[in-house]
Amino acid sequence: MSVTTLHRPTHRDALGLLEAAFGDGRMVTAFGRCSVDYDGRASSELGPGDRLVVCKPDGTILVHTDENRKPVNWQPPGCVHRASVRDGQLRIRSERSSPTERLDVAFERVEQVTAYEVSDRSDLRLTGSEEDLRQRILDDPALVEPGFEPTATERETAAGPVDIFGADAEGRPVVVELKRRRVGPSAASQLRRYVEAVDEEFPDEGVRGLLVAPSVTDRAAALLDELDLAFVPVDPTANVASEGTPR
Amino acid sequence: MSVTTLHRPTHRDALGLLEAAFGDGRMVTAFGRCSVDYDGRASSELGPGDRLVVCKPDGTILVHTDENRKPVNWQPPGCVHRASVRDGQLRIRSERSSPTERLDVAFERVEQVTAYEVSDRSDLRLTGSEEDLRQRILDDPALVEPGFEPTATERETAAGPVDIFGADAEGRPVVVELKRRRVGPSAASQLRRYVEAVDEEFPDEGVRGLLVAPSVTDRAAALLDELDLAFVPVDPTANVASEGTPR
DNA sequence: AGTTCAATCTCGTGC
DNA sequence: GCACGAGGTTGAACT
């Protein structure tokens, strides 16, 4: 049976389905009036209301209200779920250690509980990531500037890995930081850290820093200017499918 | 009726429930074998598999597999959902403009569709945030250092707002950046930006920068040291309820 | 397990 | 709307 649903179950009946589903790796949804209590990296309390609770076989639990993409409460994968009935409430508890975290959902009324057998072998294929932008630039380094020659990606420095490292037409070291979207001050600071680290490796070689992104905010532009770092605009919507670009 | 469920519905019956629920602000879940196509800030494709789709009345849509806290695909609040039947598939399309984004979920088989009436007036109360840490320090500035005198919070500078601004025992300007958890290089850079901005406001006054957090990574510690910024450890699990701390 | 950084980040706040 | 920064960020890749 792929889907098992209980409509307005007694707490005891709901408990039975939850325990069975937790035991054999099914996904579960429970909807009803509940309160939520969380304690771990932070602490939270949520008074009574109607919410949709999703328990995944990997130990994830999500509590969704009628608003927002983010669950109002949750536990990440790796937690252990248990259900119980106490004080006239159906409770779902999810716990983990390192860090120690606990989530309690207490239903005073359960409208519906459903267990799902899930089979999903497909992987998401996503394009438009920073990784894709990097590949575009490696395929055609002139997108950065004429004469740019990449020599390494994710090159390690004392300040962390540089997205693209290379040399310009005059042979000067170039640090490139890539962003797939409009950047603010933090990206400028990140580039600065890398440039300073590389500068210590190549003293007196005039290391250059380039921030490659679709656009920059005013504050970031001012910061780049002050730090002698350059912004290089790239079209974020360029066709990724265009392979075989001549070098 | 608080919950309406269709078990193994025909596409046409599922469509009817979806349209009714989208029309009157109910939350919906649909479970079945589906493929997903997304195009917007990025693009993605997801082949057939069993997933749980959640549509919220605020325009959010979530596509959840059996793993992870993050939906495999989604749209944020503010989107418009529509359902249709074409080519033997039940389709749910969610769109928005600015930015232009489109999500298509195509079910070849629907195991269950449910519409929920949701009523939730409770607000989440969360403790342990950076805001709470700030309040603790304002209540007892000696947590930062003896003689520290806060004069402003969220004080504006050319580089952005400073968490806590004040003066030390010798009257020197102090910039405090707060983090509720262990910090890495980016927090050190952020503090640096603020200190440099304030330094331009108070030349030759020796502006100090303090990073107040539970702990720092090695790289961040080295960076702070290099930049003459200080790290001040704070207990992240201190009791927030202890008000009335003497000043 | 810890570090670092990307993310269709999301979300709130302020301008 | 945009900008900026927090987040129980999550998640992945690497050490």
Q: How far is the CA of B171 from the C1' of D6 (A)?
A: 30
Cβ-nearest to B50 among A29, A45, A120: A120
Distance CA A225, CA A231 (A): 9
Which residues have a Cβ under 8 Å from the Cβ of B184 and sit 6 or more positions away?
B216, B217, B219, B220
Peptide bond into B185 cis (omega under 30): no
Average of per-residue pLDDT values in chain B: 95
Distance CA B198, CA A242 (A): 48
pLDDT along chain A (247 residues), means of 10: 94 98 98 98 98 98 98 98 97 97 98 97 96 96 97 95 97 98 98 97 96 98 97 80 37
* pLDDT tens sequence across B193-230: 999 999 999 999 999 999 999 999 999 999 999 999 99
Most B-contacting residue of A126, A156, A191 (CB-CB within 10 A), to test interface? A126
Contact B122/A186, CB-based, under 8 Å?
A: no
Contact B60/A67, CB-based, under 8 Å?
A: yes
Question: Looking at residue B130, what is its pLDDT?
Answer: 97
Question: Looking at residue A239, what is its pLDDT?
Answer: 53
Report helix, strand or coil for A85.
strand
From the C1' of C2, which residue's alpha carbon is nearest?
B217
Which nucleotides of strand D lie under 7 Å from a protein CB?
1-12
Surface of A (180-219) touching B: CB under 8 A: 180-181, 185-186, 189-190, 192-193, 219
Give yes or no for B46 touching A (CB within 8 A).
yes
pLDDT (average), residues B94-98: 96
pLDDT band, residue B247 (cuts 50/70/90): very low
pLDDT band, residue B242 (cuts 50/70/90): very low
Question: Looking at residue A237, what is its pLDDT?
Answer: 75
Distance CA A56, CA A64 (A): 14
Residue B44 reports pLDDT greater than 90: yes
Question: Looking at residue B243, what is its pLDDT?
Answer: 41
Residue B135 reports pLDDT greater than 50: yes
Instruction: Please state the three-class secondary structure of chain B as a single string.
Output: CCEEEEECCCHHHHHHHHHHHHHCCCEEEEEEEEEEEEECCCEEEEEEEEEEEEECCCCCEEEECCCCCCCCEEECCCCEEEEEEECCEEEEEEEECCCCEEEEEEEEEEEEEEEECCCCCCCCEEECCHHHHHHHHHHCHHHCCCCCEEEEEEEEECCEEEEEEEECCCCCEEEEEECCCCECHHHHHHHHHHHHHHHHHCCCCCCEEEEEECCECHHHHHHHHHCCCEEEECCCCCCCCCCCCCC
Set of chain B residues whose Cβ sits within 8 Å of the Cβ of A123: 46-47
pLDDT band, residue B237 (cuts 50/70/90): confident
Percent of chain B past pLDDT 70, that is, above it, reads 96
Percent of chain B past pLDDT 90, that is, above it, reads 94
Kindly list the structural domains of chain B, giving each domain's residue range(s) and its CATH number in brackets, ordered by start: 3-116 (2.70.180.20), 130-233 (3.40.1350.10)
Residue B141, min C-alpha distance to chain A (Å): 22
pLDDT (average), residues B117-123: 96
Give yes or no for B56 touching A (CB within 8 A).
yes
Q: How far is the CA of B57 from the C1' of C6 (A)?
A: 30
pLDDT band, residue B239 (cuts 50/70/90): low
pLDDT (average), residues B78-101: 97
